Structure 1
């Protein structure tokens, strides 16, 4: 926990956050008394209200940034479909994220502090957004690389900051650390998951043609027979025609302004967080983390959970690139992608918020099985269902069910890693980021070369293998005593 002063000021507890630059690289002695003059000279009084303010500022900053990025990612396979450059750029993002996760977060946060890391990392997203004004291999690919490198420090700094203010808040109230940390992250992800709603609303209203009735392709049109699982990238459908440039430029302009505003919001209103940066020297980074990640693969439980971790990336990429293009855009028009995905965003946000209480109520196993059956049912439906514009309720329902399953995978696989590998968390979560990113990169890399039915079979294969692996771990855990289980995982 970060170094902190507390004073009793009548009825209210107060802690202090010092500027990060004042302690950068300076080891702190917890046992030595601090001089009050130093604290009064450099510190900012940190009340409970100020901590909540910082939580809200971070949440809104990420909301403005990812309202842009999430919605733009949803459109890459359709707006930038020429030569498959849109999905190729997405593959580059997650490939760069793998490298970034291993080498950059601890180093960047140690040098810049959490606040400056978040602000600068958010600005790494803006070149990619701006590149969509002129989508070309020379613009999208380099900017995607920059975004991928900045993403890992952004999320690491966010997690560090929320943990620290959560610990500080715990000392002011009569509640446990676990309760406060879970509550803070729950509030943050409620904002974050809602970005699918706002970003897709913007894309729907901006890209919507003036006369939607004339825009619709007749359901008997032969081109619709190639939508759904029959879709291959050479298919030409009137519904897949890119909207006029003026509408696209307006959309990208709104998104770029939103992302920049998110960074400005953090720069102006987020309090810098004093951290003991010497803690980062104890963390595994670079080659040490890479070696620890590879060494962790000797753990049998890590090996059997890999297919489910890869599936977590595959299913997100499939939904972003294939469902949006082959099902929504092909049968109903590019401009309606945002409209359908609002349903996905609403369900995803609600289930993410409720996943913790649900697991506490019914245990983890039924939640995993329900999500797996839901995803399996949808993917089989994708194989045989031929979408058309008269089946809008089906498009919305499938997006909502996928949102439920996705929320379970994103919250529970992460938590599952923390539970089964709690004695080796750094290497375990490095494996989590590695294999999930590989899933993303795989799906976006082969998106331009395989037909949708083949991608669905790949998806089903990884889901079945993943659930078998998960059940094997649960079975092993129950067959052995708790002590023996944790000993075996070491």
Structure 2
């Protein structure tokens, strides 16, 4: 009997692991094209800021959809259908880029924002379930498997940023005219001496998205051959479809909580065990789901409760003090995705280099984020935050005063590398801060974390065309200083309360810095 059950458990675990790997493969195939398309928007749809406006609408819609609609849709239609519907919206956004007009791209931005809210929510749910259910069959504690499978999801998303942008770089660079006959519109030639001099006066910090200047230098922002862009979009659609098909084949239908079968444990008692297979959904021992009317009622009640709890949390003392730093991080991310890729990469190096520079950023970002946990244990959180602040202020200041020349274009790659290092720090440290400050309400705390970051991203995208890059940099420097200052105030208040015994040392900053950073919380970001 025990031998039979051991074999059964081993078979279930093997099947579950297989499905988890295929699930992550689908995540990689779905995310890679989309993240590559996002960082290209400020360049390929630079005229009128159309690309950035579409992204602003996408992220704004994502915030509202996550708060108001997600729970109802997932409860009403099930996790798998919600996920597939969300992934299909990526394809809609790709199709809109075939004909990028305001009446196609802006509605597509709203649609993909709703879809992205669904996909991120369900991806986290599946990652959690894989870890929890395998833990039921194996000996280790549940949180170890949850962290393990959530960590794999985070690593897959980081890999998708690298892979997607390298695919973009390969296609756009391969489609570039390398014959030497082409000169971008921001260059001038003297036929008598056959000399080429590049004019980067309106690149970098001086990029104000002037309509006339943008029109004259359009070849720097768009591929020389429009067919290259069509090929890129087609490849992105194909890769996304492969990911969607993978998920449709291996993920079970219905509610995640209902994916169980009845097994007999060694004590002879029956217990429910999650098995991710379609035929088990028809198991006679499975509890029937509530009807549609009851689901809708429960969903609406859940939305109201979530809004009430979220509002109460965002008005709390410590959340108010760290909110400016959280919003500032959203501005920082969108600056890299929308401004740095256009004003520095496309304007100076050409649009075909956008994918390569962002791949450098993502690789360094991921490496630093992985190493950050051990560095914090050695030096403490606040010292690491101070280092990131000083480095970002230095790089932002350099970006303002740097005058690019033809022989210094390589500096663009260095800028992305430096920002990748600090982004890995900020992302990780914000997670540690929220874990430390709100140990008893982390679910709602990380919802607020995600909301404020997304609001920062949205605002940056929406006002992008209104002011010059150097003004945006000054705003970011001011926000970083304000955010870190208020965070310092929060740390000072917590120190006083800890000394007074109002904060349990077991959940204080020192203990939480040494604690394993839960990758699950990282998954709640839609960035």
Return the TM-score normalized by structure 2.
0.79
- Cα separation, 2, equivalents of 1:316 and 1:282: 32
Single out whichever of 290-299 and 255-264 deviates more from structure 2: 290-299
Bigger mean CA offset, 323-332 vs 184-193: 184-193
Query: What is the root-mean-square deviation of aligned Cα atoms in Å?
Result: 2.9
Kept in 1, the 8 Å contact 2:198–2:405? The answer is no
The aligned residue for residue 13 of structure 2 is 48
In the other structure, the counterpart of 1:479 is 496
Alpha carbons 2:206, 2:469 under 8 Å: kept? yes
For 1:478 and 1:76, locate their aligned partners in 2 and report how far apart those are by CA, in whole Å: 45
Distance (whole Å) between structure 2 residues aligned to residue 166 and residue 157 of structure 1 = 14
C-alpha displacement at 1:12, in angstroms? Answer: 4.6
Distance 1:297 1:249, change over 3 A: same
Deviates more, 1:300-309 or 1:372-381: 372-381
**How far apart, in 1, do the equivalents of 2:100 and 2:168 lie?**
17
The answer as to 2:260 corresponding to 1:242 is no
Q: For residues 232 and 366 of structure 2, what CA distance do their matches in structure 1 show? A: 24
Q: CA deviation at 1:457?
A: 0.8
From 447, 450, 472, the counterpart of 2:467: 450
Q: Is the 8 A contact 2:72 2:299 kept in 1?
A: no
Matching residue of 1:228? 204
Q: How has the CA–CA distance of structure 1 residues 60 and 366 changed in structure 2, closer, same or farther, with 3 Å as cutoff?
A: farther
Distance 1:421 1:304 in 2: 13
1:122-171 CA-to-partner distances (Å, cap 9, x unmatched) read 11221111100000111111111111112222111111211122122223
More deviation, 212-221/163-172: 212-221
Which digits, 9 at most, give the CA deviation of each residue in 1:230-273, with x for residues without a partner? Answer: 11101343652522210111111111111121111111123456
The DSSP-based 3-state class of the residue aligned with 1:226 is coil
Change (3 A) 1:282 1:85: closer
| TM-score, normalisation: structure 1 | 0.85
Deviation, 1:98, is 1.2
Aligned to 1:92: 57
Distance 1:352 1:115, change over 3 A: farther
Can you list the C-alpha shifts for 1:192-246, whole angstroms capped at 9, x where unaligned?
A: 1122222222222222213175546559746311211111101343652522210
Asked if the contact 2:221/2:347 (under 8 Å) is kept, the reply is no
SS in 1 for 2:257: coil
Greater CA drift, 286-295 or 78-87: 286-295
Hey, what does 1:417 align to over in structure 2? 434
* Aligned match of 2:408: 391
Q: Name which of structure 1's ranges 240-249 and 75-84 shifts more when overlaid on structure 2.
A: 240-249
SS in 2 for 1:457: helix
Q: Which moved more, 1:116-125 or 1:350-359?
A: 350-359
Q: Is the 8 A contact 1:8 1:14 kept in 2?
A: no
| Structure 1 segment 302-381 matched on structure 2, within 5 A | 302-381=319-398
Question: Aligned partners of 1:157 and 1:415: how far apart in 2?
Answer: 23
Residue 176 (str. 1) matches residue 152 (str. 2):
no
CA–CA separation in structure 2 for the residues paired with 1:70 and 1:48: 32
The residue number in structure 2 matching 1:34 is none
Contact kept, 8 Å, 2:57 with 2:458, in 1: the verdict is yes
Equivalent position of 1:36 in the other structure: none
Q: Post-superposition, which runs of at least 4 consecutive aligned residues in structure 1 deviate over 6 A?
A: 486-489
Structure 2 Cα separation of the partners of residues 212 and 137 of structure 1? 35
Unaligned runs of 5+ in 1: 1-6, 16-45
3-state SS, counterpart of residue 124 of structure 1: helix
Structure 2 residue aligned with 1:198: 163
Distance of 2:435 and 2:419 partners within structure 1: 24
Instruction: Determine whether 1:57 maps to 2:22.
Output: yes
Displacement of 1:348: 2.0
Are the equivalent residues in 1 in contact too, given 2:326–2:449 (CA < 8 A)?
A: yes
- 1:296–1:86 distance in 2 versus 1, CA, 3 Å: same
Give the paired residue count.
453
How far the C-alpha of 1:396 sits from its partner, in A, is: 1.5
